[in-house]
Amino acid sequence: MPDTMTIADFVRTRGITIACEQIDERPDRHKDDEPWEADHWKCVLRRANVRRILVIYFSKGRGHHGAEPTADEVLDSLSLDASGVVNGETFEDWCDNFGYDTDSRKAERTFKQCRKIAGKLLLFFDSLQEFKVLVEECEHL
């Protein structure tokens, strides 16, 4: 048995499915953010036999030619975003770890968005342990 679980294994064993709708623009985009040539999606993740859903906006670069996101891709991306904020790091620590300027409003927005994503993931899963398996133990794509 492998030491680490893949994102695909995590998704499969928890019966996670995804439904995506392509949208023109992400409603969570900040007005000061630079435009990004990408395909934007509204994604709804569901778990088998659990009445929880996770609604998230997700973007894929145009090089993917409109390919719909998979649950693996979305959870992988979200877990990477959440991983930097799960251990109670301060904004300053986070900036130092990820190369951001602590005097940047954009960096602060990004940090807050990562914290928001971590909170949504925590609510989507059954336990803190399950969340930590995704964020800390799964092998990324």
Q: For residue range 44-93, list pLDDT tens digits in order.
A: 999 988 888 999 999 998 888 889 999 999 999 999 999 888 876 899 99
Question: Is the whole model's pTM more than 0.85, yes or no?
Answer: yes
Interval 102-139: pLDDT, tens? 999 989 999 999 999 999 999 998 788 999 899 888 99
Distances (CA, A) of 141 to 6, 21, 29, 30, 101: 8, 23, 25, 28, 28
Place of tokens 């623009």: 25
Contact 72/9 with Cβ under 8 angstroms? Answer: no
